[in-house]
Structure 1
Amino acid sequence: MEKIVKILSLVVLIAVFSGCEDNLDRQPLSQIPESGYFKTAQDLEFFTNPLYNMLNVANLDREQSDHLVQMTLSEIIIGGNRRTVPNSGGGWDWGHLRRINTLLARVDQCEDEAAVLKYSGVARFFRAMFYFEKVKRFGDVPWYDTELGPSDEALYKPRDPRELVMTKMIEDIDYAIANLPAETSVFRVNKWTAMALKSRFCLYEGTFRKYHGGEEASKFLELAAEAARTLIDGNQYRLYTAGGVDNAYFTLFSQDDADAGEFILAFDYSNSPRVNHDASSFTMSAAQGRPSYTKKFVNTYLMKDGSRFTEQDGWQTMTFIDEVQDRDPRLTQSIRNPKFTLSDNRPFPNKFAVSVDGYHPIKFLQDVTKGYDVRVGYSYNDLPIFRYAEVLLNYAEAKAELGTLTQADVDISIKLLRDRVGMPNLDVAAANTNPDPYLLSTEAGYTNVTAANIGALLEVRRERAIELVQEGFRFDDLVRWKAGYCIDQPLVGIYFPGAGEYDLTGDGTTDLILYTQGNKPTDQVGVEMYEIGMPVNNGGIILTEGTKGNVFFHSNIELAGFNEQRDYLYPIPINERSLNPNLNQNPGWNDGLSF
């Protein structure tokens, strides 16, 4: 019903305001009947409904980073001159902001005072979210809080300082918190959604300033912790636990409808009317991305008893069946594992046919008994935008970065996440006494972290990466921590000790055969066969140590590396700078323009 309301609202808006949604420099919304619209709560609702399209999170599951790669590496992973300045687009779009400012300029025409406050709160929530995305991407950006026409000089002003934009964002989100309804709703913003957004962007800004240099980092970290704690203390949300420790995490993301207890805000996908994404086909189809987690990331999952996998004997050379045993249950609820079967008992695609390095994601895989459409690209399970788990992690991280994280703080945040999967709680004192060397290593960890509570901080980062994997956070996290160097760490997969037959499902049947040149066995139905050392494009498999080692699908790709002086911000498109010479380019990006 929610989706139908959104679509009907959009149809009405198109009829009334055709052509009013594009850029800031469009003509004023002249087709708005000034004397006949913005008069009722329904008018305001219809006008704000299109803003929810900002929340469409299709493809959030496939963002590439040091934790997840695809068959074709992204420009960010390859780096160097593969990243260029676009002529247009590139995230420098302002259409939604125009709608927001139009609403705020006219909202007082409504005679319903409660509606004025509510929909002003909706608009200012979305303006804070809009500018958060712009600041993350570009740093300094022009702040606009009024409608602009084509002759307005403000269209050609320089970028405003990040400090001013963040100050305005806090004003907007505080207004939204004060004036949005307290009633929870999975598909509509409310005061709790606004608190979640505030905790998110204040944590981002606080850590960005701490690691990149900037004033008042602690102020933003304190605001993040305060917003998260207020939401926690509000007792409106709880973690989803149905199905127990071995199923709850997977089911949370695979079920059709967003769980109203944990999903603070979700995007409402449906099969009727058809509003879909393709998360299931992304992970099941050999014709799509063939995604894989990286060995480095999988190594960070703890053992089920809370000990570190990377301190187990022989962990570097464990084969797949052995390494996934007795681990944090979120591992086997996030990747295809020996116990995993499809809900309709259909054969699952072979591992390397659909996952380049063998750690095959299953998060967001919808129940395939829903029909063929789900498998070929029409999934309709709701996807998260704000989740209670993230708020718990925001709280713990803000406190850890401030150096004030206590065991009591962990007990109301990290402990809940670990309880869901039957894992022991994080012991703050023990973690600080013995920080994880793997998470500090140059090969797999964070080398620029120094703090008295470094052990607990590293554990919070571990927890964040595992709990929020494939939810669109990882690259942003690396940016704010000034940890782009993590992208340059090894991007390899599961380990094979050499040629031979392998059972990757634990059912006693051979699934995969690796062989050396000239020793190919007879083809077997349902068994993958790869020649060791043969290029992957020719049906072979590359291992890091020649005839043994970790799967290295991208061995033929020359990675230029993350550019520390350039890659933390995106470039402003060439056409935008040509139209407005007052827009200076971000450091390190050469667009050929000089003003």
Structure 2
Amino acid sequence: MNKILSILSITALSAILSSCEKLLDKQPLSQIPESGYFRTEQDLEFFTNPLYNMLNMDDRQQSDHLVQMTLSEVIIGGNRRTVPNSGGGWDWGDLRRINTFLARVDQAEDEAAIRKYSGVARFFRAMFYFNKIKRFGDVPWYDAELGSSDEALYKPRDPRELVMTKMIEDIDYAIDNLPDEVSVFRINKWTALALKSRFCLYEGTFRKYHGGEEVDKYLELAAAAAKEVIDAGRYRLYTTGGEEKSYFTLFSQDDADPGEFILAYDYSASPRVNHNGSSFTMSAAQGRPSYTKKFVNTYLMTDGSRFTDQSGWETMTFIDEVKDRDPRLSQSIRNPKFTLSDNRPFPNKFSTSVNGYHPIKFLQDETLGYDVRVGYSSNDLPIFRYAEVLLNYAEAKAELGTLTQADIDISIKLLRDRVGMPNLDVATANANPDPYLLSAEAGYTNVSAANIGVILEVRRERGVELVQEGFRLDDLVRWKAGYCIDQPLLGIYFPGPGEYDLTGDGQTNLVLYTNGNKPADEVGVEMFEIGIPVNNGGMILSEGTKGNAFYHSNIALAGFNEQRDYFYPIPINERSLNNNLDQNPGWVDGLNF
């Protein structure tokens, strides 16, 4: 999600306006004074404010669940992924600010402020290194302020275990010293616990599936951190609007719900601090996003049964396949139930969604006006929310093999209760694992455990609940399931030429025709010739004159490289400056594979 104004600007603006005269007497923050600064709580707050720009939630991240008109380099793979000369995520500016702050914070006179803002800095240092470990694996650990001539700048990468140990020390300090008051736009104790549950779950599952020691240690830490948030009772799921609306409304309303959003981006219409979530969905010029058929298939029926257990599920048309499904599907894509606030139907449009499963998550109502449609959305967006903490707890316990029905009842049951779905039954799931979620065409082929059924169900729940919140690629990496990216990127099924009603109101919304048989144009009806790419006025179907919409049929996907693609390459220039940095496996300078 593109931020037009950062959270830093929002939080600092009011303070700047209210104390201009005092600020004029201060030295610039770009020039770090040896004395006279770092004295007051306001000094500490202002110096740490830029760290909030490290926070990220990517609603556009492409994966096997969400694609766009132009596929990302990660999805295409092969020689589309190369070693960069510079950049590539190997940046350390934020860490320098953190370590500079921690080297000087003791100059302050307020002990409580020292502990609080040291907690802020150490929270962000743990987050900084979490992002580096995910991207590069082993990285050099720095916890002291360094100058350009310090030899330590040229040391080799430190072992992953050392970095993880330091991260846990940092996050535990943050947990102990950050405020415990609920604060949606400022980190607190609960944000730190949520981060700990996130990165310990990542590390535990990464080691389990890629090979490593102390798997249980990290999974137990993840479960314990999540459980502390649960037991505290400070947060609860948003349910206003009931089973048919609450999930959608959670993400579309202007103000973040303080019950579920542990930390959020603060956007507003006045002053104008916006993002482009609505135009991403509404505009044909901003990616034309679509969920994949494979992902949509994972949504359960409203009675809790599996959609893919039904006879003929593969060839169901849109109206039939979205009927009686988990309500989160109807609150995540355009479908027959979805209308705007003026009750107008909102049909799928292939001109704005490449394969027809058109996302509406984070969409503000089109009737709010032109500004919202073209990019000025003001709904707050999640960075950490309680739903993720519940899922982290359930998954950590499932991977440990200790998940009980009581654990489900305090985690996944709450997510399903919000939308009126039956609870997950542990014994039933383990007795009958979902063959679709185990299949090579659509599932996870490297999972094997006595409780495999419930592991798969937790993964299903995670995909459905957290779609478009930037988790999917990280999940595939830690589960060593990069092969999922190579599974088919298909869309809605069409049995052949003809007229189609995509809203269920009895009116034709779309017509498919064969060469030379185009009917007369109709207002409000999309028309596509089968066998011609959408960009040229047609639609490609996966089986010729029938099948699933297949926008990317002409893209040769090189495939996920299991020996290379779980980590990113370290840039060429960085290794030229520091000869002690070795390259990640499979990456070769100047060569494409």
Matching residue of 1:323: 321
Instruction: Check if 1:37 corresponds to 2:44.
Output: no
1:395 maps to a residue whose letter is Y
1:352-376 deviation digits (Å, cap 9, x = unpaired): 0100000000000013343321110
Residue range with higher mean Cα deviation, 333-342 or 403-412: 333-342
Q: Is the 8 A contact 2:290 2:358 kept in 1?
A: yes
Matched, 1:92 2:90: yes
Query: Which whole-Å CA distance do the structure 2 matches of 1:268 and 1:154 have between them?
Result: 38
Query: How far 1:134 sits from its partner (Å)?
Result: 0.5
Kept after mapping to 2: 8 A contact 1:67/1:297: yes
- Check conservation: 1:2, 1:187, Cα contact below 8 A: no
Distance 1:290 1:539 in 2: 15
Corresponding residue of 2:188:
190
The amino acid that maps onto 1:332 is: S
Structure-2 residue corresponding to 1:520: 518
* Alpha-carbon distance between aligned partners in 2 of 1:455 and 1:201, rounded to the nearest angstrom: 24
What pairs up with 1:445-460 in 2 under 5 angstroms? Answer: 445-460=443-458
Among 52, 62, 68, which residue is 1:64 paired with? 62
Question: Does the Cα contact within 8 Å between 1:321 and 1:504 map onto a contact in 2?
Answer: yes
Aligned residue runs from structure 1 range 408-427, under 5 A: 408-427=406-425
- SS of equivalent to 1:531: strand
Give the aligned partner of residue 277 of structure 1.
Answer: 275
Equivalent position of 2:3 in the other structure: none
Distance 1:16 1:208 in 2: 47
Shift of 1:536: 2.6
Alignment of 1:469-480 (within 5 A): 469-480=467-478
Cα distance in 2, alignment partners of residues 590 and 423 from structure 1: 49
Q: 2:296 — aligned with what?
A: 298
Q: 2:125 matched to which residue of 1?
A: 127
Indicate if the aligned counterparts of 2:347 and 2:503 stay in contact, CA closer than 8 A: no
Aligned to 2:50: 50
> What value does the CA root-mean-square deviation take over the aligned residues?
1.7
Give the one of 281, 285, 288 matched to 1:287.
285
Report if the CA contact (8 A) 2:86-2:572 is conserved. yes
Structure 2: distance between partners of 1:363 and 1:84: 33
Distance in structure 2 (CA, Å) of the matches to 1:7 and 1:471: 28
Shift of 1:340: 1.2
Call closer, same or farther: CA 1:309–1:15 in 2, change over 3 Å. farther
In 2, the alpha carbon distance for the partners of 1:512 and 1:592 equals 47
Give the C-alpha shift of residue 343 in structure 1.
2.4
Read off the aligned partner of 1:44 and give its amino acid letter. L
In the alignment, which of 155, 158, 164 is matched to residue 157 of structure 1? 155
* In 2: Cα distance, 1:92 partner to 1:74 partner: 20
Following TM superposition, by how much is the alpha carbon of 1:542 offset from its aligned partner in structure 2, in angstroms?
0.7
SS, match of residue 350 in structure 2: helix
Question: CA offsets per residue over residues 392-413 of structure 1, 9 Å max, x none?
Answer: 0000000000000000000000
Deviates more, 1:193-202 or 1:154-163: 154-163
Secondary structure at the aligned position of 1:492 is classed as coil
- Displacement of 1:379 after TM fit? 1.1
Q: CA deviation at 1:344?
A: 4.3
List alignment gaps of at least 5 residues for structure 2: 1-6
2:375 is aligned, of 365, 373, 377, to 377
Q: How does 1:47-446 map to 2 (within 5 A)?
A: 47-57=47-57, 60-344=58-342, 348=346, 351-446=349-444
Q: Is the contact between residue 334 and residue 347 of structure 2 (CA under 8 Å) also seen in structure 1?
A: no
SS of 2:301's equivalent in the other structure is coil
Which residue number corresponds to residue 4 of structure 2? none
Cα shift at 1:342: 2.0
Secondary structure of residue in 2 paired with 1:351: coil
Matched to 1:125, the amino acid is: F
> What displacement does 1:582 show?
1.1
Conservation of the 8 A alpha-carbon contact between 1:66 and 1:486: yes
User: Is the CA contact (8 Å cut-off) linking 1:406 and 1:428 kept in structure 2?
Assistant: yes
Residue deviations 1:231-257 (CA, integer Å, cap 9, x gap): 100000000000000000000000011
Measured at CA, do residues 309 and 114 of structure 1 come closer, stay the same or move farther in structure 2, by a change above 3 Å?
same
Question: 2:294·2:488 contact (CA, 8 Å) conserved in 1?
Answer: yes
Residue 495 of structure 1 is matched in structure 2 by 493
Counterpart of 2:568?
A: 570
Counterparts of 1:176 and 1:187 in 2: how far apart (Å)? 16
Report the Cα distance in structure 1 between the residues aligned to 2:195 and 2:105, rounded to whole angstroms: 23
**Cα distance between partner residues in 1 of 2:304 and 2:55:** 36
Partner SS for 1:218: helix
8 Å CA contact 2:499–2:512 kept in 1: the answer is: yes
**Distance of aligned partners of 1:492 and 1:82 in 2 relative to their CA distance in 1, 3 Å threshold:** same
CA deviation map 1:437-466 (0-9, x unaligned) = 000000000000000000011000000000
C-alpha separation in 2, matches of 1:166 and 1:150: 26
In 2 relative to 1, CA 324–346 (structure 1 residues): closer, same or farther, beyond 3 Å? Answer: closer
Q: Give the Å deviation of 1:276.
A: 1.6
Q: Give runs of aligned pairs for residues 525-540 of structure 1, distance below 5 A.
A: 525-540=523-538
- 1 CA distance for matches of 2:24 and 2:308? 57
| Deviation at residue 18 of structure 1 after TM alignment | 4.9
The residue matched to 1:270 in structure 2 has which SS? coil
Distance 1:509 1:291 in 2: 24
Distance 1:116 1:397 in 2: 36
Distance 2:511 2:129 in 1: 52
CA distance in structure 2 between the partners assigned to 1:378 and 1:578 by the alignment: 43
**Residues 432 and 453, structure 2, Cα contact 8 Å, conserved in 1:** yes
Taking the aligned partners of 2:404 and 2:262, their CA distance within structure 1 comes to 26
Cα 1:460–1:273 shift into 2, 3 Å:
same
Cα deviation 1:467-514 (Å, max 9, x = unaligned): 000000000000000000000111100000000000001111100000
Change (3 A) 1:137 1:421: same
Distance 1:157 1:15 in 2: 40
Q: Does the 8 A contact of 1:283 with 1:361 survive in 2?
A: yes
TM-score (norm 2): 0.95
Q: Do the aligned residues in 2 keep the contact of 1:503 with 1:511 (CA within 8 Å)?
A: yes
Contact 1:237 1:388 in 2 (8 A): yes
- Match of 1:571, SS state, is coil
* Counterpart residue identity of residue 6, structure 1: A
Does structure 2 conserve the Cα–Cα contact (< 8 Å) formed by 1:258 and 1:383? Answer: yes
Partners of 2:232 and 2:371 in 1: CA distance: 40
SS at match of 2:59: helix
Q: Which amino acid aligns with 1:313?
A: S
Shift in CA distance, 383/510, structure 1 to aligned 2, threshold 3 Å = same
Give how far 1:274 is off.
2.5
The DSSP-based 3-state class of the residue aligned with 2:86 is coil
Deviation of 1:86 after TM superposition, in Å, equals 1.2
CA contact (8 A) 1:9 1:46 kept: no
Measured after TM superposition, the shift of residue 275 of structure 1 is 2.2
> CA 1:404–1:347 in 2, change beyond 3 Å: closer, same or farther?
closer
**Equivalent pair of 1:284/1:349 in contact (CA under 8 Å):** no
Q: Structure 1 length normalisation: TM-score? A: 0.95
Q: Counterpart of 1:465 in structure 2: which amino acid?
A: G
Q: CA deviation at 1:534?
A: 1.5
Percent identical residues: 83
Q: 1:484 aligns to what?
A: 482
Separation of aligned partners in 1, 2:524 and 2:492: 20
Provide the C-alpha distance between the structure 2 equivalents of 1:533 and 1:423, rounded to a whole number of angstroms.
40
Q: Hey, what's the Cα distance between the residues in 1 that align with 2:28 and 2:354?
A: 46
CA distance, structure 2, for counterparts of residue 504 and residue 268 of structure 1: 35
